[in-house]
Structures are given as C-alpha cells and as structure tokens.
Amino acid sequence: MKKIKNYFKGGPRNFFFLMLILLLGIAVLTKLTDFTRQRKSIAYSTFLKAVEQDQIKSVHIIGQEILGVFKDGTFFETVVVDNPKNIELLKSHNVDFSVAPVSTQFNFWHILLLLAFIGAPIAIWLILRQTRGSSGGGHGNIFSMTKSKAKMFLPSQIKVNFNSVAGVQEAKEELTDVVDFLKNPEKYRRLGAKLTRGILLVGEPGNGKTLLAKAVAGEANCPFFSISGSDFIEVFVGVGAARVRDLFAQARKHAPCIIFIDEIDAVGRQRGSGLGGGHDEREQTLNQLLTEMDGFESANTAVVVMAATNRPDVLDKALLRPGRFDRTVHVPYPDLAARESILKVHARDVKIAADVDFHKIARATPGFTGADLMNLINEAAIIASKTDALFVTMKDIEEARDKIMLGKAIKSRVLSEDEKRKVAFHEAGHSLAILLQPETSEPLHKVTIVPRGGALGITHWLPEKERFLTNKEQMLATITTSVGGRAAEEITFNVLSTGAHDDFKKATELAREMVCKYGMSEKLGHVVYKTDPDAKYSEHTLRLIEEEIKNIVDVCYKKALELLKTNKDKLDLLANTLIEKETLYAGEIYQLLGISPREEHRLI
Ligand code: ADP
Ligand code: ZN
C-alpha cells in the first residue's frame, strides 16, 4: 500500500501529469467506443417506416434502446417508445429480434469503463515513472522496468576524495587497501590474494557513508554506481532481481569500479521477517544479490560493493558471510576534533570572517552529524547574505546553530550535561578495568562518549567479531571489564542507570559459557551442558547452573568495584578528560594516567 501511495506523492508536477493522462484516457476511450459501434442513429419515425417497408433484417432490444441491422448490412440504433405494439409490428414484418435486460448492459459497460479509466492511467504512470527514474547507462526507453536505476558516475564526474571527508580517520585507513586494489587489481590477482569485495558502512544518516564510498572511487579514479536498496523493490515480483542482475552486469563491464547500495536494509532484512506475505519480491532480490556477490570470486572481477546501513542488526546473516559483506567499517558521529575539521572542509567554499573560531563551534555542536555541520555553514552563509554582509561571522553561525539545534532537539540524540557525565564515567570504568587487569587478552583501542547507534558510549576493547579467550583468567577479566561500566557509575553517582543492560547480558552469556561449555565451574564440574535456551535440565541442575552464573558475575562485579575504588583518582581523571575531549585513543590514555602499556598490548 505504501508503494502505491508513493506513486502519487510526487508533488504538483506529478499530479498534473496524472490528470493529463486521465483526460487523454477518457478522450481515447470515448472515440474507441464510437468506432466499435460504427452505426448510425436514426429517429423513431424513420425506424417505424423502415419496418413497414421491410427494410430491416434484425434488431436487438435493450430496454428502450434498439440496436439493429438493415437488410443492406448497415447498422443503426434508435430509441423507441416503450410500447408492446413494437413487438407485434416486428413480428408481422418478419424481423428477427432478441431482447436483453437493461441491467446487464449497464454492468458490462460500467465495469469495462471503470477498469479502463483506473487501470490505463496507472499503467502508463508506472511506465513513465520507470523511465524518468533510470538516468544512468543511457537506457531511457519505456520498457526499462528491469534495468537497474543506478546512477553512474564516471571518474571525471567524481569531485570528492579522502580530503573531502573530514574526521573518520579510522574508516579511511580501513579503506586504503580497497583503493589500492581498485587502482591496481593485477597486483593482487598475481599473488592470488583474495580481497574483501563487500564492505558494510555502518552509521547514522548524515555521517558521510555515501560521501566516503564516493571518495573511495575518487581516490581510485574508477567509476561509481550508486543506488538505494529501496530502488530495487517494485510491486512486481522478479523486477528487483532483474535490476540487481542488470546492475552487476553493467558494473562488470566497467570494472574496476564500485557499486554503492544505500539503505541496504531495504533489501537485506532477515528473510522470513515481517508480517504477512508479499515478501517474495524482496527475498528474490536479496538472493540475486547474494548470487552476484558469490560470482565475483570465481570471475575475479575488480568490483567492490559498498553498502550503507544504520541497522546492521536487522540484516540477513547470509549477507555478512565471508565473501559477501564480511568487512564492517563504522562511520560514527564526529567527535570534537572531527567536527572541527568537517566545519573547516565546508567553510572552504564560504567567505569566513576572521573572528570565526571553529574549535569553539565544534565544542558547541555535540551530536551534530557531518550533514548537520555542512548545513550549519550553509545556513550561516544564507543568514549573512540576507544582510549583505561581506563575511560570515561568528554571530551568523551561532544563529544557524540555534536553528538547527532546535530542529535536532525534537529528534534528539544530543546528550545533556548530566547524561554526558554518566556516560563518561561508565566508559572510563570499562577502560580502566582493562588497563588494571594484566590478564585481559585484548588491548584497549579507544574510548568515546560520542553516541553510535544504540549504545551511548563505546569502549573499543573487544574485537567486533570473534573473541579468543583461552583461559579462565581471561574470561573472568573480560566479565569484570563488562561490568566495570556499571561499577564506575555506582562508585561515582550511587545510582544505577539502565545503560548497563547490554554489558550485563554480555557478562552473563560469557559466564554461562564458562559454566556450561567449558566446565569451569567447581560445583558442576567438567560437564558440557547445552547453552541454548530450549535445552532441558533437571530442576536441580538448572538451579545450580543459574547459581554458578550469578556467582561468577557477582565476584567479577565486586572485583571491578574494588579495582576502581582503589584507583578513583584515575577514574575521575579519565572521565573528566573524556567529557572534555569526547574521544581518547589508547596512547593518550596511557599518557594521561601515567601507565605504560603492557607488552602484549603494544600495537607495534
Ligand atoms: P550518509 O550517507 O551517511 O547518510 P552523506 O554521505 O549523504 O551521509 O552525508 C551528507 C553530506 O554531509 C555529505 O555530502 C557532506 O557534505 C556532509 N558530510 C557528512 N560527513 C562528512 C565528513 N566526514 N566530512 C565532510 N563532510 C561530511
Ligand atoms: Zn557499558
């Protein structure tokens, strides 16, 4: 239903279009029905005369209307007086006649007209819409329904490169090998190196996923195909799959190149999810996408597929398998330093007054996305233009900021000072727990209080995918780190927030594995129990398992409390610095706290 509505919400221009088609339809139809008749209208008196002169072969009576044929073969129609004597007259002159009830005739025409009036314009409308949508690849004909609607950018049309993308240093670093591969696929082919062909860009809208993907194309000087996941899906089953096929066929022709699929979740949602039927189309499209990506490996084509989403959690697991989108690059909200550099990038095209302090503006715009910041500069320029000013001043920028802030406050992701403090202490708790436990297996990478997706702050201490915890000590240390966030909050604020829910879930899962899978519990011993929720144990065993899990988490929580209490000065220092800087990298933290990184935690 939503789809259908979309066809009509194109604004006044489209409405005009629709009306035009409707009128045309009516005109054509009226003409058409006249042609099919091709009979002349005659007067009742003429009709009577003709009967009397035996000129009529046969008639068909519908109520008061008579359709008939003369003996010379011409058709006629007339309207007669409702009189039983008509029948007598026809009989006496040997005219064949048949009679139809009025209602059948009415219904027949009624339905036909209705179908024609409603169906034809919609059909034409759909086809026109298709044609207008397909701007790339030069296929502008009416029957391009199954062609992909991707926009193609040639290298000469791509004006962005990594310099146009400010902040997101890590994302850029992670993508440098992709650039290299696209620039020089032979180099990799020669050695048989298998490079990632699918990259998932994860981040909230406006943080530069599209920009980043295009910048990769800009860096590699290769063509860029851009399409949105929702563009694949149409009302007709099979169209989406055909479009995917067409897109990949085109891309292969232009290899090395990049395919960028925005909003991949529109096609890539878990199969079999959603209410009711009607998902065949999406599933077919998704299957086709998977097939095409699998085809890369054998074909050895230098096509890289980048897809963007802010909901990686809803994606079908099949999409994330090796050989498909097996690499995830996060495109987070910009932190303080990133905001400053994004502002500077966009200020390049604007005349800026000397008083403008980008650092100050960055400070005053927490929670702004890259798009918001671009918007900020633009709004400020508009405000300045209105007063015929020569330069954009700090005052203009402030005014623009307030305007955008107001808009954002409604959707709000901006943390209040209070929340910011809580998140900072929570994350500092995680980080310190890592640093203070020599037995942790994973190095601290960075800690930030910039919101990303669902979680408010993120301490990057676990690799996103696989954890290799090899012994009991490491596992306990990991659990202690997990609950360290909550412990820090308890020590500092003495109230518990809901922010730690996920941490405790992780801690509990790991404790359950220790008890059930690895036989690391004394009470239960070296027995493997099923960890899945449907597994059935005796009530006694079940209670023992739950007790042991709780016991492990409790012990770890106490340890975390102790660790952080004895190092409260470090906790305060780290948290307060976080509030100030928003993101801290491992190196900065070591320096700040005056600890030296452990041997195994050194990166080089
Ligand atoms: P997304 O695809 O994540 O929704 P976009 O790439 O469409 O975000 O970003 C919209 C615009 O915001 C970009 O065209 C760019 O002008 C600006 N922008 C976003 N992030 C950045 C950034 N890191 N550096 C510079 N400009 C940015
Ligand atoms: Zn946490």
- The alpha carbon of 434 and the centre of ligand 2 are apart by a number of angstroms equal to 13
What pLDDT score does 17 carry? 61
Tokens of 360: 């100050």
Q: In the sheet that 446-448 helps form, which strands lie side by side, from edge to edge?
A: 458-460, 446-448, 583-585
User: Does ligand 1 come within 6 angstroms of the Cβ of 214?
Assistant: no
Note whether 325 and 383 are same-domain residues: no
Final residue before a domain boundary, out of 406, 434, 461: 406
- Using pLDDT thresholds of 50, 70 and 90, give the confidence band for residue 7: very low
Q: Of all protein residues, whose CA lies closest to atom 12 belonging to ligand 1?
A: 371
Asked whether residue 534 is domain-assigned, the answer is yes
Per-residue confidence band for 19, with pLDDT thresholds at 50, 70 and 90: low
Output the residue whose Cα is nearest ligand 1's atom 5. Answer: 208
pLDDT surpassing 80 at residue 120: no
Identify the pLDDT of residue 536. 66
Which residue out of 281, 427, 489, 548 is catalytically annotated? 427
Ligand 1 centroid from CA 213, angstroms: 10
CA atoms within 13 A on the CB side of 391: 10
**Looking at the structure, do residues 494 and 457 belong to the same domain, yes or no?**
yes
Report the CATH number at residue 74: 3.30.720.210
CA of 482, nearest ligand number: 2
Nearest ligand, CA of residue 226?
1
The predicted pLDDT at position 263 comes to: 92
In a domain, 412, yes or no: no
Ligand 1 atom with the smallest distance to the CA of 338 is: 23
Residue 518 confidence (pLDDT) above 70:
yes
What pTM value is reported for the model? 0.57
Residue 347 lies in a domain: yes
427 is catalytic: yes
Q: Does the Cβ of 208 fall within 6 Å of ligand 1? A: yes
Residue 369's CATH number:
1.10.8.60
Nearest ligand for residue 425 CA: 2
Q: What is the pLDDT of residue 405?
A: 74
What integer pLDDT is reported at residue 426 of this predicted model? 92
604 within domain boundaries:
no
- Which pLDDT does position 43 carry in this prediction? 84
- Ligand 1: which residue has its CA nearest to atom 27? 370
CA of 504 to the centre of ligand 2 (A): 8
For residues 102 and 86, state if they share a domain: yes
How confident is residue 9, by pLDDT bands cut at 50, 70 and 90?
Answer: very low
Question: What span, in angstroms and rounded, lies between the C-alpha atoms of 563 and 580?
Answer: 24
Q: Are residues 223 and 317 both part of a single domain?
A: yes
Of 126-130, 197-201, 528-532, 538-542, where does the model show the most confidence? Answer: 197-201
**Pair 391, 472 in one domain:** no
Ligand nearest the Cα atom of residue 213: 1
Within 10 angstroms of residue 243's Cβ, the number of other Cβ atoms is 25
- pLDDT for 226 equals 94
Percent of the chain with pLDDT strictly greater than 70: 75
Domain boundary among the residues 123, 144, 165 is at 144
Cβ of 166 closer than 6 Å to ligand 1, yes or no, is: yes
Cα 34 to Cα 28, 40, 103, 428: the distances in Å are 10, 10, 21, 83
Q: Do 203 and 347 fall into the same domain?
A: no
- CA 369 – ligand 1 centroid, Å: 8
pLDDT recorded at residue 4: 39
Q: Is 342 in the pocket of ligand 1 (CB under 6 A)?
A: yes
Q: What is the pLDDT of residue 528?
A: 66
Atom of ligand 1 nearest to the CA of 167: 23
Query: Could you identify the atom of ligand 1 that is nearest to the CA of residue 204?
Result: 3
Q: Measured between alpha carbons, how far is 596 from 444 in angstroms, rounded to an integer?
A: 12
Q: How far is the CA of 484 from the centre of ligand 2 (A)?
A: 8
Q: Please list, in sequence order, all residues whose beta carbon lies within 8 angstroms of the beta carbon of residue 197, skipping any fewer than 6 positions away.
A: 293, 296, 297, 303, 304, 305, 323, 324
CA atoms within 13 A of residue 260's CA, in its CB half-sphere:
21
How far apart, in whole angstroms, are the C-alpha atoms of residue 350 and residue 384?
Answer: 11
Could you tell me which residue, 254 or 40, shows the higher pLDDT? 254
Given a cut of 60, is residue 540 above it in pLDDT? Answer: yes
Q: Is the same domain home to 132 and 155?
A: no
Evaluate whether residue 598 is within a structural domain: no
Instruction: State which residues form the domain around 451.
Output: 417-593
CATH of the domain at 211: 3.40.50.300
The total number of residues written for the chain in this structure: 604
Examine the domain organization and report whether 140 and 158 are in the same domain. no
Q: What is the pLDDT of residues 293-349, one digit of tens each?
A: 888 766 677 899 999 998 888 898 889 988 889 889 999 889 889 999 999 999 998
Task: Indicate the average pLDDT of the chain.
Answer: 79
- Model pLDDT, residue 117: 74
Of 159, 164, 169, 211, the residue with max ligand 1 atoms within 8 A of its CB, to mutate for a pocket test, comes to: 211
Whether pLDDT at 498 is above 60: yes
Band (558; pLDDT cuts 50, 70, 90): very high
Give the number of domains in the chain. Answer: 4
Is 601 domain-assigned?
Answer: no
**Mean pLDDT on 538-555:** 88
Measured CA to CA in angstroms, residue 567 lies from 212, 433, 479, 573 at distances of: 41, 10, 19, 10
Are 309 and 199 contained in the same domain?
A: yes
> Which of 349, 378, 406 corresponds to the end of one domain?
406
| 397 and 438 co-located in one domain | no
pLDDT tens, position by position, 129-168:
554 444 343 344 444 566 777 889 999 999 999 999 998 9
User: Which residue from 521, 441, 531 is spatially nearest to 481, judged by alpha carbons?
Assistant: 441
Q: Residue 439: which CATH number?
A: 1.20.58.760
> Looking at the domain assignment, is residue 411 inside a domain?
no
Q: Within this chain, do residues 370 and 460 fall inside the same structural domain, yes or no?
A: no
Nearest to 513 by CA among 534, 532, 486, 488: 532
Residue 499, pLDDT > 90, answer no
H runs (alpha helix) in 134-222: 169-183, 185-190, 209-220
Q: Under a CB-based contact definition with an 8 Å cutoff, are residues 422 and 457 in contact?
A: no
For residues 352 and 272, state if they share a domain.
no
Return the pLDDT at 453. Answer: 45
Is 55 contained in some domain?
yes
